[in-house]
Structure 1
Amino acid sequence: MAGGKLSPRQKMINLMYLVFIAMLAMNMSKEVLSAFGLMNEKLVDSNTRAEKKNVAAYDALALKASEQEKQYGKAKEKTDSIRAMSDDLYNYIEDLKTKMTQDVEDKTGYETMDKSSFLDQYFFEGGKVSTHGQEFIDKVSAYRDGVIKILGKRELADIVASRFQTSDITNSEGITLNRLKYHFEGFPLIASVTKLTQMQSDIRTTESDALSSLLEKELSAAVSMTNYEAMVVFDKNAYYAGENLSGKIVLGKNDPNLTAEKVILNGREVSKSKIKAGQVLLDGPAGSVGDKTIKGSFFFKENDSLVEIPIKGSYAVIPRPNEAVISADKMNVVYKGLTNPMTISIPGIPSNKVTASAPGLTRNTGSSYSMNPQGAGGSDVTIRVSGTLPDGKPVSSNKVFRIKDIPPAMGMVRGQFGTIQMPKSSAARISIAAGLPDFLFDLKLQVLSFKVKVPGQLTAIVNGSQLDSRAIGVIGKASRGDIITIYDIKAKVSNSSYQLKRVLPVNIEITN
Structure 2
Amino acid sequence: MAGGKQSPRQKMINLMYLVFLAMMAMSMGKEVLAAFGLMNEKLIDANQRATEQNQKAYQSLALKAAEQAKQYGEAKEKTDALKVKANELYAYVDDLKSKMTADVEDKNDYQVMDKSDFLDSYFFEGGTITAKGKEFVSKIDEFRKSALEILGESDIASVVKSRFDTDPVTNREGLQLNWLNYNYEGFPLIASLTKLTQIQADVKATESDALSTLLRGELESAVSMTNYDAMVVFDKNAYYPGEQLSGKIVLGKNDPNLTAEKVVINGKDWPEDKIKAGQVILDGAAGGVGDRSIEGSFFFKENDSLVEIPIKGGYSVIPRPNEAVISADKMNVVYRGLSNPITISMPGVPSNKVSASAKGLRRVKGDSYMMTPGGGNEVTINVTGTLPDGKKVTSRKKFRVKDIPPAVGMVRGQYGTVPMPKSSAGKTRIAAGLPDFLFDLKLNVSSFKIKVPGQVAIPCSGTTLNARAKKALQKARRGDDVTIFDIKASVSGSNYKIKKVLPVVINITN
Q: TM-score, normalised by structure 2?
A: 0.48
Bigger radius of gyration among the two: 2
Q: TM-score, normalised by structure 1?
A: 0.48
